[in-house]
């Protein structure tokens, strides 16, 4: 029998029931982070989520074969660890010391690869042969297509028609990788609708198919699982920052937030430090700023919605941030006061992108340019004091956005 | 008020046409007693679905369906992101929303008519949550709606809505899927009220060329563990499929096949004729 202390200790481990410092541990048994998360799914998909949860829990135990294969692939295939770049010229321009976690240098060009290598391996472990994925900017679609090729899986990617147009290059890359891209013409024809369509596919194909969700959203266990698969970003960054700063932690940790996976992975590495954690959403898709708690895509979280609960369309120059919700753990971190969530406007994002290009020779994707745009503003208005040390996750590179940025700057 | 024309079926269920309880309850007709009585009278249950707010004539479509012999009706409260629905009901929902449909408006229309059969709302959980659980239950009952189907609210998440519904007098119908394991199926039947909704197939709503083989298997499994009415739905596209799906169940829901007609401009009378064809086929067996 478990002692009372063991039970207490387990509670402590679970986010949401602990009254102590905020941690990013396992959610409660019903998939809650505080009041958020859960598994709001049609009955047809409940057994698949239970199976996935069990498979991930077993795979993610310490010292498993899964962990070894995952780590080896991240190193030898994806190119981890990614560097931490100490940005001299950008730091000079902003008056704060900026350290960039370079997820743009991974294979396929964004942090999304960390997640799909994990989910691809799990798919094999569950004996499934097909992946479905949703994508906004196309980075998760490209990453999923890549994992499918690597593991010999069939792959179908759902992508809103608005996004297939503005991310044509990524559509082509997915096809080259052997995936089928299905444009989604329903609703707002962006990421939200691609998720709907992927879920509809999954209900009909669940026996052979794994839904390879691209962010820390959706029903339990996805928000937890994807954060764990992305925590390598934060864990590496923390060790790298400490090595650089002789054991010190940064004052501020910043990441952009669409669904919130690169931010969750980043924050997981710093949540128990004194660093201030800031997530940056697109102004037109600010779930924390303008959202109301609701249920969409299997989770309870902050959502852009009207007075009757109809989901509103997010609006952003960045396809990857065009989502009316946010991962439930971010909703929890916001409510608990451990992280704050800010926004960046399209215009300042374009400026930040050019600033980084010109000062450091790094062209970021539009998504992490949001994180940088907020930082630029915050250093100017003094809400980030001069002399601070800032760790910013550069979640992806800007190649995919070149055409769109060119048009926007014209 | 609408007046169903059919007489109450005799013990053998030989009387075709609309059935209604002797006296409609204030605030609508309770679902389970009405469906049990109809079933126990030997009748296969027919539950047509209508998207609330779809076109100015949606209430007339509903009435026509009732008059053509429905044992209960399902009214969709449209949601912007209906993940369990195929193209037809997606389109119906979208059009209704574009026309300004809200739960209050739809339920307000329902409150102003009286239907002799139970009305069950079908919606997604965010509409319930946004309105507030107690308030949503009250909205339903004030509109004469005594049942609710919320497909994205599985057993584990019933916690907040379940008690509010019960207190408010709303029977929450749970969905069983072909992949639901036996132990879960039993619990689900135990906690379902009004009837148990058997999902014929793994997939979303929408018409199919043939009835899925999983339908019959699930129907038999459900009937083996519950004596609540078992009604099968998803993909029932024509009277023959309805008859086949209800051989081992108590009845069927017909949704996309009707909404396709409405989207195509059919009149309430034409929809009524289609419902009548389902009725006749089910009565013949
Ligand atoms: C480079 C990059 N960063 C960030 C995101 C947003 O996703 P998340 O918030 O899950 O990190 C995307 C999504 O497409 C992306 O491509």
CB pairs under 8 A between A and B: 113
Chain B: closest CA distance from residue A301 (Å): 11
Tens digits of per-residue pLDDT, B98-129? 999 999 999 999 999 999 999 999 999 999 99
Sequence ranges of the domains in chain B = 36-284
Of A296, A285, A289, the residue nearest A323 (C-alpha): A285
**CA–CA–CA angle A195, A198, A203 (5° rounding):** 125
User: Residue B22 contacts by C-beta under 8 Å, 6 or more apart in sequence?
Assistant: B8
**pLDDT of the residue at A9:** 41
Average pLDDT for residues B66-90, to the nearest whole number? 98
Q: Is the pLDDT score of B283 beyond 80?
A: yes
Q: Is the pLDDT score of B20 beyond 60?
A: no
Secondary structure (3-state) at A164: helix
Residue A349 is encoded by which pair of tokens? 């994002």
**pLDDT of the residue at A321:** 87
Average pLDDT for residues A380-404, to the nearest whole number? 96
**pLDDT of the residue at A100:** 99
Residue B224 is encoded by which pair of tokens? 């083996």
> Which CATH number does B36-284 carry?
3.20.20.70
Q: For residues A377 and A214, what is the distance between their CA atoms, to the nearest angstrom?
A: 29
**pLDDT of the residue at A409:** 94
Sheet holding A130-135, edge to edge: A180-184, A154-160, A130-135, A209-211
In the DSSP assignment, the letter for residue B230 is: E
Q: How many CA atoms lie within 13 A of A45 on its CB side?
A: 28
Helix, strand, coil distribution of chain B in percent, nearest 5: 45, 15, 45
**CA–CA–CA angle B215, A132, A168 (5° rounding):** 135
The answer to whether A310 contacts B79, with C-beta atoms less than 8 Å apart, is yes
Q: Rounded to the nearest whole angstrom, what is the distance from the C-alpha of residue A320 to the centroid of ligand 1?
A: 5
Of A42, A292, A307, nearest to B151 by CB-CB distance is A42
The answer to whether A196 contacts B176, with C-beta atoms less than 8 Å apart, is no
Residue B173 is encoded by which pair of tokens? 């119908």
The answer, yes or no, to whether ipTM is higher than 0.85 is yes
Q: Is residue A393 in contact with ligand 1, taking CB distance under 6 Å?
A: no
Asked whether the whole model's pTM tops 0.90, one would answer yes
**pLDDT of the residue at A19:** 59
**pLDDT of the residue at B25:** 43
The answer to whether A29 contacts chain B (CB < 8 Å) is no
More confident: A222 or B18: A222
């Amino acid at each position: 029998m478990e002692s009372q202390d063991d039970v207490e200790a387990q509670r402590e481990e679970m986010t949401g029931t602990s009254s102590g410092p905020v941690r990013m541990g396992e959610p409660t048994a019903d998939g809650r982070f505080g009041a958020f998360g859960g598994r709001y799914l049609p009955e047809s998909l409940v057994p698949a989520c239970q199976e996935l949860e069990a498979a991930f829990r077993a795979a993610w135990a310490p010292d498993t074969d899964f962990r070894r294969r995952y780590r080896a692939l991240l190193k030898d295939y994806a190119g981890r660890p990614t560097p931490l770049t100490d940005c001299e010229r950008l730091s000079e321009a902003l008056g704060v010391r900026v350290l960039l976690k370079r997820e743009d240098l991974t294979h396929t060009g964004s942090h999304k690869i960390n997640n799909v290598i994990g989910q691809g391996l799990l798919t094999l472990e569950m004996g499934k042969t097909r992946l479905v994925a949703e994508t906004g900017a196309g980075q998760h679609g490209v990453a999923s297509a890549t994992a499918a090729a690597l593991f010999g899986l069939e792959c179908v990617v759902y992508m809103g028609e608005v996004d297939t147009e503005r991310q044509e290059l990524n559509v082509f890359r997915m096809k080259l990788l052997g995936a089928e891209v299905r444009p989604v013409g329903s609703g707002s024809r962006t990421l939200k609708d691609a998720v709907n369509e992927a879920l509809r596919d999954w209900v009909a194909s669940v026996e052979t198919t794994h839904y390879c969700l691209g962010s820390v959203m959706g029903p339990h266990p996805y928000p937890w699982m994807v954060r764990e698969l992305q925590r390598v970003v934060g864990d590496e960054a923390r060790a790298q920052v400490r090595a650089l700063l002789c054991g010190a932690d940064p004052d501020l940790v910043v990441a952009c937030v669409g669904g919130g996976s690169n931010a969750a992975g980043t924050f997981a590495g710093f949540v128990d430090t004194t660093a201030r954690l800031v997530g940056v959403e697109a102004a037109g898709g600010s779930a924390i700023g303008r959202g109301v708690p609701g249920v969409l895509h299997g989770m309870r979280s902050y959502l852009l919605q009207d007075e009757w609960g109809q989901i509103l369309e997010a609006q952003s120059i960045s396809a990857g941030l065009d989502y009316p919700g946010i991962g439930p753990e971010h909703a929890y971190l916001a409510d608990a006061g451990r992280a704050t969530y800010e926004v960046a406007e399209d215009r300042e994002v374009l400026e930040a992108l050019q600033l980084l290009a010109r000062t450091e020779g790094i062209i970021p994707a539009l998504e992490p340019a949001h994180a940088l745009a907020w930082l630029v503003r915050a250093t100017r208005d003094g809400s980030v004091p001069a002399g601070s040390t800032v760790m910013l996750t550069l979640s992806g590179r800007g190649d995919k956005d070149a055409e769109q940025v060119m048009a926007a700057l014209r | 008020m609408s007046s169903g024309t059919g007489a109450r079926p005799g013990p053998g269920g030989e009387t075709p046409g609309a059935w209604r309880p002797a006296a409609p309850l204030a605030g609508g007709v309770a679902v389970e007693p009405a469906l049990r009585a109809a079933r126990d009278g030997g009748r296969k249950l027919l539950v047509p679905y209508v998207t609330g707010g779809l076109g100015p004539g949606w209430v007339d479509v509903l009435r026509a369906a009732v008059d053509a012999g429905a044992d209960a009706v399902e009214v969709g409260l449209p949601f912007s992101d209906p993940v369990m629905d195929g193209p037809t009901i997606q389109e119906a929902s979208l059009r209704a929303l574009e026309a300004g449909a809200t739960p209050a408006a739809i339920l307000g229309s329902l409150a102003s008519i009286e239907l002799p059969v139970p009305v069950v709302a079908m919606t997604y959980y965010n509409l319930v949550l946004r309105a507030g659980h107690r308030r949503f239950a009250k909205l339903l009952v004030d509109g004469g709606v005594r049942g609710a189907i919320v497909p994205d609210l599985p057993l584990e998440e019933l916690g907040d809505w379940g008690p509010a519904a019960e207190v408010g007098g709303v029977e929450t119908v749970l969905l069983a899927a072909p992949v639901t394991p036996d132990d879960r199926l039993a619990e689900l039947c135990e906690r379902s009220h009004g009837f148990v909704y058997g999902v014929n197939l793994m997939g979303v709503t929408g018409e199919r060329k043939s009835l899925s083989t999983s339908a019959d298997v699930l129907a038999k499994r459900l009937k083996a563990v519950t004596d609540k009415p078992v009604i099968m739905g998803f993909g029932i596209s024509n009277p023959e499929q309805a008859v086949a799906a209800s051989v081992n169940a108590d009845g069927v829901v017909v949704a996309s096949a009707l909404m396709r007609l409405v989207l195509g401009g059919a009149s309430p009378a034409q929809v009524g004729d289609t419902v009548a064809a389902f009725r006749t086929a089910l009565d013949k067996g």
